[in-house]
């Protein structure tokens, strides 16, 4: 059986990974928005 401490550690690590992923997503995706606010190109840098 996994101890409570181990579970909390795993949850904490998962949260950190999600936050990192969100930050990377925001910095790596650059929508090219036209004057009327329509996204023209959605460039994703892997």
Question: What is the structure's pLDDT at 5?
Answer: 76
Question: What is the structure's pLDDT at 40?
Answer: 60
Residue in the block written with tokens 């969100």: 22
Residue in the block written with tokens 């910095």: 27
Nearest Cα neighbor of 31 from 46, 14, 17, 45 is: 45
Is the pLDDT score of 42 beyond 60?
no
| Domain boundaries defined on the chain | 4-44
Q: Give the pTM.
A: 0.26
pLDDT in tens, 14-41: 776 666 666 666 555 555 555 666 656 5
Half-sphere exposure of 44 (CA within 13 A, CB side): 3
């Amino acid at each position: 059986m996994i101890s409570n401490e181990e579970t909390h550690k795993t949850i904490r690590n998962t949260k950190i990974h999600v936050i990192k992923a969100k930050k990377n997503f925001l910095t790596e995706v650059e929508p090219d928005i036209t004057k009327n606010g329509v996204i023209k190109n959605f460039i994703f840098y892997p």
